Each structure stands twice: as C-alpha cells, then as structure tokens.
Amino acid sequence: MATESTRFCGLVLIAALFLGGCATGATAEGMTVKASDIKGPPSPGVASAVGVGAVEGGEKTDPLLMSQIDNPTFKKALVVSLRKAGLLSGDAHPKYVVAVELIALKQPIFGTDMKVTSVIRYRLRDAATGALVLDEEIFAPYTAKFTDSLIGTQRLRLANEGAARRSIATLIEKLNAASTSTSKSAAPPAPAATLAATYSL
C-alpha cells in the first residue's frame, strides 16, 4: 500500500511531466498593474500618500516544483503599481503605510487552462498614529489559457502573475474608495473586512 509521501511524489512527478520545463517565479513586470487596470485618477485623501511596508508570506520558486511569488518581487510590483496609480508617496515618511501578507496561491496541479486564485491581505495604517485604516483580504482569480503559452510551467507563471496583478488593482480601487475616511486622521480604525474580487474570466 502506497504511503502518503509516495502518492505526493507521484503527483509531483506527473505534474512535472505534464507541465514541461523548469518552473520560474512570477515577475514584477507581470504582476504590475496596467493602465487599463486603473479606474480614474487618485482620490485626494490618498494621492501620493502611501508607502509600502513589510511584505510577508511569499515563497521562492523551486525550478523542479511549481511557480511561486516571492516577497521582494511582489513588493516591487506593488510599489510600481502604486506609483502608476498616483498613490505612492515620494516622502521618506509617508502618511500611510500598507503591509502585505501573501496568504495563499490556489493553483492547479496541471491543466490546459490554468486558473490561479491569489489570497492576499493588505493592512493600511496611519503612519503617525498606527491606527488601522483598511484591512482587506482579497481573493483574486485569473485564468491563463492554453493559447497564452503552450508550455505548462509558463502558463502557471502567467496565471500567478495575473492573479497578483488583479489583487493589486483591487487594492488600488479600495484605497481610492477609502479616501474619505483616510482623510480624517482622527477617525477610528475600520473593522476588518473580506473582499472577493469579481472578474469575468
């Protein structure tokens, strides 16, 4: 009778054979929002006011396993995305700081069209008071189709990047929507909330 370890190794081997090629990690360029992802100008309350703090929970990619998202690369994508959206602070001491926790990447083991859902938590704090202004756990799905790449490992990386990019785009929307409350420095911390990003795939 096969052990759990044997079964797992068998699945990994099958996935490697089906995916083909070595796994590569998500790129900052692929995770950075596009101009079409940004809905309008930045809201006054958060324009040029957001810095990026700690990014945790990511994982380096093992070329023999599956594509992942590592912390430094995601942080770079987030910084560039916030800059594109007009939200990134150029000050060494920004008004707000967003911390990130990469909770999960829900990935298929193999497939033709590959759907990945990223689960990422963002906490925005008032840098002066430490008050929690925004706390969002965002679920963002993205499907990389067979026509996007014939190579399975590349298709999975594209799905990872798309899911992360949509997560960041949703964060930007939430930051702009929260501009009224964030403009009041004395406002009490907002309650934690969970948002499932909705997109047509």
Confidence band (pLDDT; 50, 70, 90) for 143? very high
Instruction: Establish if 201 belongs to a structural domain.
Output: no
pLDDT at 17 over 70: no
**pLDDT by residue (tens digit) across 20-36?**
579 999 999 999 999 99
Q: Mean of the pLDDT values across residues 89-111? A: 93
**pLDDT by residue (tens digit) across 155-172?**
999 999 999 999 999 999
Instruction: Establish if 59 belongs to a structural domain.
Output: yes
- The percent of residues above 90 in pLDDT, for the chain, comes to 68
For residue 144, which of 113, 109, 166 has the smallest C-alpha distance? 113
Instruction: Establish if 46 belongs to a structural domain.
Output: yes
pLDDT at 190 over 60: no
Residues 6+ apart with CB under 8 A from 14: 109, 110
pLDDT at position 141: 98
For residue 55, which of 73, 43, 38 has the smallest C-alpha distance? 73
Higher pLDDT, 45 or 199: 45
CATH code for the domain of 165: 3.40.50.10610
Q: Number of folded domains in the chain? A: 1
Q: pTM of this prediction?
A: 0.79
Confidence band (pLDDT; 50, 70, 90) for 3? low
- Give the residue numbers spanning the domain of 118: 4-196
For residue 111, which of 196, 18, 3, 187 has the smallest C-alpha distance? 18
Higher pLDDT, 194 or 35: 35
Confidence band (pLDDT; 50, 70, 90) for 89? very high
- The percent of residues above 70 in pLDDT, for the chain, comes to 79
Give the number of other CB atoms < 10 A from CB of residue 184. Answer: 11
Instruction: Establish if 84 belongs to a structural domain.
Output: yes
Confidence band (pLDDT; 50, 70, 90) for 110? confident
Confidence band (pLDDT; 50, 70, 90) for 189? very low
**The dihedral of CA 41, 79, 99, 130: what is its sign?**
negative
Instruction: Establish if 154 belongs to a structural domain.
Output: yes
